Amino acid sequence: MKKAIVFSFLIFFIFAGILMAAGSAEELYRKGNLSYENGDYEKAVSFYEELLKINEVSPEVFYNLGNSYFKLKKIGKAILNYERALRLDPRDKDAQLNLKLAKEMAVDKINTSERGFVLNMILFLYDRMDINELSLMCSFLYLAMILILIFSIFFIAKRRFMFYTAGIFGAVFLIFLIFLFAKIRNENFTKTGIIIAEKADARSGPKEDYLLQFTLHEGTKISIVKEAQDWYEIELSKDLKGWVPKTSVNII
């Protein structure tokens, strides 16, 4: 009996804690939106950042945080949060547009090779689907292929047609599986970051007394190759590498 009472109290406090946390998150989000509407962008940033600290991560929070930093003319952090929002919701038109506007305001104009029309068409779905959606699509295609092959056992007259259909589903499944692995690699195993400091001197090694290679400014997107103590080795292209302080970079 006592164990049942203790267990009941434990369940009650767990649910009470969950409800309080949800209420707190909703209140922070409401206050952040209200502060933004009233033009108090510093306060809006503090509310949205607090939401992230309690792990209330969503594309809406990142998008609103990006807008707040954009209004404060902190282009680096605006770009960082738009990028984070698009990782969670790649089809968000507003985030795409605002990211483009923020990048146009960045000092460094890094030339990136254009993919071209054909490659853009091939990667159309890849660019607009997140990891969860790609996982679901792969599961659906694989299940459909297996079911068609099973049914082909019972429908001898249509077996050839069903084999062809299963083959088509299998080919599409492989394409989406490649997309899924590429997305997982790019988002979980390849580190990219944004320069958030007003400027960051890239040096030939992980110390201030190493030779200055080049200088980057806030908003520049970089690839992180490795790290050593308080420094990141970054890469902009095969011929453009250097070391910058960790404090000047935030990882997407």
- The domain spanning residue 48 has which CATH number? 1.25.40.10
Write down the pLDDT at residue 193.
95
| Cα 247 from Cα 114, distance rounded (Å) | 31
Beta-strand pair 221-228/212-217: unpaired
Long-range contacts of 119-125 (CB under 8 A, 24+ apart): 125/176, 125/179
Q: Are residues 121 and 41 in the same domain?
A: no
For residue 148 the two structure tokens come to 């068609």
| Cα 141 from Cα 138, distance rounded (Å) | 5
| Cα 72 from Cα 52, distance rounded (Å) | 19
Write down the pLDDT at residue 103.
94
Domain edge (last residue) among 189, 217, 232:
189
Write down the pLDDT at residue 159.
87
Q: Total structural domains in the chain?
A: 3
Write down the pLDDT at residue 24.
84
> Per the domain annotation, does 197 fall within a domain?
yes
Domain range for 133 is 116-189
| Cα 202 from Cα 211, distance rounded (Å) | 9
Q: Are residues 170 and 151 in the same domain?
A: yes
Identify residue 93 by its one-letter amino acid code.
Answer: K
Write down the pLDDT at residue 9.
40
CA distances (Å), origin 117, targets 103, 121, 180, 183: 22, 6, 22, 21
Low-confidence residues in the chain, pLDDT < 50: 2-22
> Per the domain annotation, does 70 fall within a domain?
yes
Closest CA to 234 of 204, 199, 196, 210: 204
